Structure 1
Amino acid sequence: GELGALTLDGCYDDYLALAGPTWRNEVDATVGLELGSHRPGRQAEHVRAPLLVQIADLDRSAPPQAAAKAAFAGRAEVRHYPCDHFDVWPGKDWFEPAVRHQLLFLTRHLAPAAAVGSRSAVEL
């Protein structure tokens, strides 16, 4: 065998579909050290800006429970999708709903107050 990251069935094909022809199937070994200590939930409580957390409930690559914990700590708006990690990316079934939720979130929090009531800010 070979060493690898995100080696679950389908991950390689999903990466290829996203990355394009210039992607090199390599990762620096230190990324394992970084991911091992990556705990977004510990910092989420300090975020003061509006926060949107989108959770793929069937995610096999990034634990949905960790995302939910970070969302709770950050008082985030949470959207759940009954899908796996890459299913919210372009070309997948949950991409359009995920993007629509992002646009709604951004419109609600970034649009001028007068434009929020109208659909002219972003046509959804």
Structure 2
Amino acid sequence: MAFEKSTLKIPSARAGWNLDAWQFLPAAVGASKPLAVVIMAHGFGADKTMGLAPYAEALAGIGYASIMFDYRRWGTSDGTPRSLLVVKDQLEDYRTVIKYARQQPQFDPQRVVVWGSSFSGAHAISLSADASVNAAAAVAQCPYTGTTPSLPMSTASMEIVASAILDIIKQALGLAPLYIPVVSDPGTVGALTTAGTKAGMQAIFSKETEYKNEVSASSLLEIGPYQPRAKAAQINCPLLIVLPDQDNLCLPQGAVEISKATSKCELVSLPCGHFGVYPGMSHHTDSIAAQLAFLMKHVPA
């Protein structure tokens, strides 16, 4: 799959903070017609080096451009404190990159696609329901929709809650955040501790960078109030949800609710767990095939 990859620095909404992005272009770019472009970002506690490039490469192979970026405070983008998740800021970063893409002459401003996986899948759903974004289509792979496993009462869960509260206090005082692991074994302190999650995340750890398995503890308080499935009736562009039906991290129920609430949503169910759709896993090829077929149907390259 021939493609051209370059690095971009896109000014974020916060003055002085740039978003670090990779741009993928099909190798054979015709001058007569601007390209459809897919805007992509990573999931919870990850960065753009972790398993996203194969999607962009597959898209380039059939004529789509893509821009893949790190949020503020994550990866190689600017911003402090590091490893802090703010849903409002992440959605704003998507809008910033979408606006940037629309200003580039090689891209068709009417054929901008929003793509996300896991927690960024939540953003793809939310932005598909935002009329001001005016996306041509959206793709959400194994998305967080607002349904998650209950946190069992244990010493570890009480320590997680205490860490989140202490982190809020520390940051309010101008001190460094209190960090906990992004992924950890079940029954231990961490943001994501469901069975198989640590191994799944480790499988997509990048060899390009040294991954810091940490997130500010108070970031967990951003998750519960964020309910993308509540916006299902407002979705105003074609939306594909690739749903691992054995997902124990982002529970399937919310995605099913979205598909029933709007005719705009196409649901493709795959017999695997959350990480089964990622590169090198059992149903990655199936997920890619569904995404390419969906895009060729609704936003032809």
User: Normalising TM by the smaller chain, what interval?
Assistant: 0.7 to 0.9
**Displacement, 1:19?**
2.6
1:71 and 1:29 map into 2 onto residues whose CA distance is: 32
The match for 1:116 is: none
The match for 1:78 is: 267
CA deviation digits over 1:49-91, x for unaligned, max 9?
Answer: 1000111111110110111112222430110011110101001
1:106-117 to 2 correspondences below 5 Å: 106-111=295-300
The match for 1:118 is: none
1:87-106 to 2 correspondences below 5 Å: 87-106=276-295
TM-score by length of 2: 0.35
Equivalent of residue 206 in structure 2, options 15, 20, 23: 20
1:26 and 1:79 map into 2 onto residues whose CA distance is: 32
Q: Where do 5+ consecutive residues of structure 1 fail to align?
A: 112-120
2:238 and 2:255 map into 1 onto residues whose CA distance is: 16
1:72 and 1:9 map into 2 onto residues whose CA distance is: 29
1:43 and 1:5 map into 2 onto residues whose CA distance is: 25
Report which of the two structures shows the higher radius of gyration computed on alpha carbons.
2
CA deviation digits over 1:98-123, x for unaligned, max 9?
Answer: 11000000010111xxxxxxxxx6xx
- Of Structure 1 and Structure 2, which has the larger fraction of its residues in helix? 1
TM-score by length of 1: 0.81
- RMSD value, Cα: 1.6
The match for 1:60 is: 248
8 Å CA contact 1:40, 1:70 repeated in 2: no
SS at match of 1:80: strand
Q: What's the % identity of the aligned pairs?
A: 34
2:276 and 2:204 map into 1 onto residues whose CA distance is: 11
**Displacement, 1:17?**
1.9
SS at match of 2:292: helix
Change (3 A) 1:40 1:74: farther
**Displacement, 1:7?**
1.3
1:48 and 1:19 map into 2 onto residues whose CA distance is: 34
Which of the pair has the greater relative contact order for Cα pairs under 8 Å at 6+ separation? Answer: 1
1:38 and 1:81 map into 2 onto residues whose CA distance is: 25
1:30 and 1:63 map into 2 onto residues whose CA distance is: 22
CA deviation digits over 1:9-61, x for unaligned, max 9?
Answer: 32112212213142211112232111111211111221111000111111110
